[in-house]
Amino acid sequence: MPVELSKSGIEQIVAQFKSAAEYSRQAGFEVAEIHAAHGYLMHEFLSPLSNIREDEFGGSLENRMRFPLMVAKTVRETWPENLPVFARISVTDWMEHGWDLPQSIEFSRRLKQIGVDLIDCSSGGLVPGARIPAGPGYQTPFAAAIRREVEILTSAVGLITDPAQAEHILVTEQADVVTLARQMLRDPYWPLHAAHELGDDVSWPPQYLRAKPAGKK
């Protein structure tokens, strides 16, 4: 059964995030993303649905943000200043009395103060029974709201599958980045196909040219 983390346990996990950032940079990564969404540990601290602590890490919004902000501060201080740090959050739990957009806006403000460069705006994943109105671009308004209210770069994600749809999000400044997952699994060449569909003549990576059938784009 889960047990409440002790303060020393929290400090140990923060130190482990620091080590993970160091190892990631040594491995050659140029972007670090802190995962505070989808029911993972930092999301569990943020949401009043899962955080029932009665110490300085529970109760008020300030207290519930404390541990995730400690992690973000440590990662940002560890990661090279000239390379970006992203934070993925679930903007809403889709449940009454849960984590929501206003709290996400305040959390994003605090992340910006620490030096986080971009908020990756997803949602849900904490509790069963949440009624999520999934549909094309259903989470994009969250990215737009945080971008507008916090004046920070945001990423839109969630059932963005069509090149014109992705381009519309960027051109209308609802988000600064579009993040894809399932569509990239369905079509690993999606960026190239999207570029051609949108009239941008991009070059294939040399490694792909070796496998590309003659005469094919």
- Is the distance from CB of 121 to CB of 157 less than 8 angstroms? yes
Q: At what angle are helices 163-171 and 190-197 packed, to 10 degrees?
A: 70
Put the strands of the sheet holding 85-90 in their side by side order: 32-36, 85-90, 118-122, 153-157, 177-179
Q: Which residues contact 181 (CB under 8 A, 6 or more apart)?
A: 157
What pairs with residue 89 in β-bridges?
36, 121
Catalytic choice (40, 138, 189, 208): 40
138 given a catalytic annotation = no
Number of H helices, E strands in the chain: 9, 5
- DSSP tag of 95: S
Pair of tokens at residue 91: 């903007």
What pairs with residue 35 in β-bridges?
88
Cα 116 to Cα 175: distance, rounded to the nearest angstrom: 16
CA 196 to mean position of chain CA atoms: 28
Cα 17 to Cα 199: distance, rounded to the nearest angstrom: 42
- DSSP tag of 120: E
| Positions marked active-site | 40
